[in-house]
Each structure stands twice: as structure tokens, then as C-alpha cells.
């Protein structure tokens, strides 16, 4: 199953489905992406959490250092991954950082959004 990242358009949901957008992960959107397969959902969330942590660690080592192209690649990867699993706050924060890759405040906002998602995912497994 190919999942495309199109951050310019909000995710489309069938009429009658209300997205669970108040959570760090929109579980309704994620269920739609996985056709309701809980095992796939779990795997996607675990992989996303791991990838997000790796990206944030690289971005936060020194947010003003590093090559712009490398930072943009990390942020874009994180944005697309976040959109795929329904972590829309992370996706929006990454999109903002994409526009201003050396902005340390936006870097912090993205890092905090990732922490919220990590905590949410951790809570799901309890």
C-alpha cells in the first residue's frame, strides 16, 4: 500500500467520520490508512516514534548549526511521516520549520510536538 504525502491538502475522510484531531495522533485517520488493522497501526506508530526521535535528536543537537539542506531533508521526512500516521500537530510544526529551518523557536515547537506524540503512543500500549 503506497501512502503519499501531500501536506498542502488536509486528509480526506469519508463523510460521517469525525477525525479525532484533539489527540496527538488522529486515530480515525490512522485506522483509515491501515484499513483498521490494529497490528499495522501499532507497527506504524512504533516506527514513527522511533524515526521522529532520531530526527529530533539530529535537529536539536545544535539547531543553528548543520547544513540547511540536511535540516530540510530531516524536517521534510518528519513532516511526511507525521502526516502518514495522523500526527498533524507534528506535521504542521515541521512544515513551519521547513519554511524557516534555522528558527530555534520553531525547532522547540516541533520537539515538543514529538514528545506529546511519544507520550500518547506510550499511553496506548498500557
Position 45 scores a pLDDT of: 96
Domains of the chain (ranges; CATH) run 27-124 (1.20.120)
Number of residues in the chain: 126
Nearest Cα residue to 83 out of 15, 18, 16, 32? 32
> pLDDT in tens for each of the 126 residues of the chain?
334 444 444 445 444 444 565 799 999 999 999 999 999 999 999 999 999 999 999 888 765 556 788 889 999 999 999 999 999 999 999 999 999 988 889 999 999 999 999 999 999 877
**How many helices, marked H, and strands, marked E, lie in the chain?**
5, 0
Q: Which three cell numbers stand for residue 32?
A: 483509515
| pTM attached to this predicted model | 0.79
What cell numbers appear for 41 in the block?
Answer: 497501526
Query: Residue 110 has what pLDDT?
Result: 96
Amino acid at each position: 500500500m503506497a501512502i503519499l504525502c501531500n501536506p498542502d491538502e488536509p486528509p480526506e475522510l469519508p463523510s460521517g467520520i469525525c477525525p479525532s484531531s484533539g489527540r496527538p495522533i488522529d486515530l480515525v485517520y490512522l485506522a483509515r490508512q491501515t484499513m483498521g488493522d490494529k497490528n499495522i497501526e501499532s507497527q506504524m506508530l512504533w516506527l514513527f516514534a522511533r524515526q521522529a526521535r532520531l530526527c529530533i535528536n539530529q535537529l536539536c543537537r545544535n539547531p543553528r548549526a548543520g547544513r540547511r539542506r540536511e535540516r530540510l531533508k530531516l524536517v521534510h521526512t518528519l513532516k511526511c511521516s507525521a502526516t502518514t500516521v495522523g500526527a498533524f500537530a507534528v506535521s504542521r510544526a515541521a512544515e513551519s520549520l521547513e519554511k524557516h529551518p534555522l528558527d530555534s523557536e520553531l525547532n522547540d515547537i516541533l520537539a515538543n510536538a514529538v514528545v506529546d506524540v511519544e507520550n500518547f503512543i506510550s499511553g496506548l500500549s498500557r
